[in-house]
Amino acid sequence: MAMAPGIQPVERLRTYASFVRFEHTLFSLPLILAGIFSAPGASMSLPRWLVVGAAAVAARTAAMALNRLIDWRLDALNPRTRGRELPAGKMRPFEAWALLLASVAAYLAACAWLGPWYLRVAAIPLAVFAAYPYLKRFTPFCHVGVGVALALAPLAGFAAAHPEFTDFVPVLWIAGFALCWVTGFDIIYATLDEAFDREHRLRSMVAWCGREKALRISAALHLLAFLSLAVACVWILFGSGAPAGWGLPAVGAMLAVTAALLYLEQKWAEDVDLAFFKVNAFAGIAVLAAVLLARAARGF
């Protein structure tokens, strides 16, 4: 029976979206927006918003495509990952490389539209994206590479919305939150592959020091993440005078929500799908909400 017209292209798009885990944009998008609104005066035209969004999606797509291509042979050996698109034959290598090159081209085009400075620094995220998949071959601190990649998100959002680079202190603390948060939850994710990593001499934190100690390190990182976010919000609220009366309790409540989500991520570490894929999405939204409330209390 012939395939109905239009089905195959739709299926390929679904395969491509699965290949780069498009839904994981929920992790980076709130951080980009938090960076944009971390300082006053983030008024951008609609075209600039659209270009920043395109740059974010293209950069993240490039990061995931690089990760999948670099880890292709390891994924084929791992029972947990051998069903991924490349090792399972659902995508041809040519398609993966084409998607990578197209996403890099779109990212560079967006940076060029934003201005010459953005194009000059565009290679920094790409270098981080290309380097971090290799780190687990050499160091148990490989999870920090993922943290650095996501810490670039609020910095990029801030740079796009504030080319004058004033009032940059809060975004540095937000980037610190992202670094510790993402590094911590990547350690939780690595518990899925403890035996595989040991067998193949991959140097994840879990393989290096054991699951229990690695999870304690993850919890400490999440505590540091919360403290970093709290400092960012307090700086926004009180950095140049007193905020609106409702600001401190509203931001405090959202910080409490964020703390609860980070706690649940640790508590539910046994269920990585729940802790990693579901709680994390809400944590990112809570972070953005805390920053937006702090900024609203001072005036956008």
What are the extents of the domains in the chain?
Answer: 23-298
Q: What would the pLDDT profile of 99-156 be if each residue is shown by its tens digit?
A: 999 999 999 999 999 999 999 999 999 999 999 999 999 999 999 999 999 999 999 9
Give pLDDT, residue 23.
66
Q: Cα separation of 52 and 44, whole Å?
A: 10
Res. 272 pLDDT band, cuts 50 70 90: confident
- Residue 1 clears pLDDT 60, i.e. is over it: no
Contact 190, 198 (CB under 8 A): no
Q: Cα separation of 292 and 40, whole Å?
A: 11
Over residues 272-287, the mean pLDDT reads 84
Instruction: Look at the domain 23-298 and name its fold.
Output: Tetracycline Repressor; domain 2 (1.10.357)
Q: Cα separation of 221 and 144, whole Å?
A: 11
